[in-house]
Amino acid sequence: MTFRVLGVGSSLRDKASSTTALSVALNLASKYGAETRIFDLRQNKLPLYDPGENDSSLEIKKITEDVSWADALILSTPDYHGSMSGAMKNFLDYFWAEFAGKTFGYICASHEKGLTAMDQMRTAIRQCYGWSMPYGVSINDREDFTDGKMNPKLESRLDMLARDLVVYGTILRQQFVKDLGESANTFASRYRK
């Protein structure tokens, strides 16, 4: 079974460093045997989440298919005042139920370290019963890009994230799926159909 990784980019800025880094991370995940897809919220805008609405737009159908397909996700956001982008928060509001048993990696573009924004994404994913990598990749445009080109240190950090997400994510996902099929009292048992 091929491990599947969905990258979700949430910057609404053209040529955003967070989205560029996400694309690189997904290419690196492919190097480790993963099948990858990207969903760029700049190009595929989701309507504001309304729990009372049953939105069946093409954007919602496409991203629902992608999130269901994925075994793991990489969430990428700019740091807006110590938090994730509104587009990312809106995405998380839509798909919380589909995150259980999946592993998440994080990328944050920030003039600081983006730790608060990544912690907020981790908190949201934990509340949705997803697994999080214990570290994320922080990007500082001035330090990590020269003349629009990514420096090797950033690429190395993204490579580590991609490798670890595929290796550890595969183990967690396989156990979660196995537990779905067993009768034992497990974390996965609440998700049996």
Q: How far apart are CA 120 and CA 92, in angstroms?
A: 11
E runs forming strands in the chain: 4-9, 35-40, 72-78, 103-109, 131-132, 137-139, 145-146, 149-150
Angle between helix axes 58-69 and 86-95 (nearest 10 degrees) is 70
pLDDT greater than 80 at residue 25: yes
Phi, psi of 139 (to 5 degrees): -120, 135
Contacts of 34 (CB under 8 A, 6+ apart): 2, 3, 4, 5, 72, 162, 166
Average pLDDT estimate for 20-48 = 95
pLDDT greater than 90 at residue 32: yes
pLDDT greater than 80 at residue 119: yes
pTM: 0.93
Q: Give the helix ranges, DSSP H, for 70-129.
A: 86-95, 115-127
DSSP 144-188: HEETTEE-HHHHHHHHHHHHHHHHHHHHHHHHHHHHHTS-S--GG
Longest CA–CA span in the chain (Å) reads: 56
pLDDT greater than 70 at residue 192: no
At residue 59, the pLDDT reads 77
Q: How far apart are CA 107 and CA 8, in angstroms?
A: 10
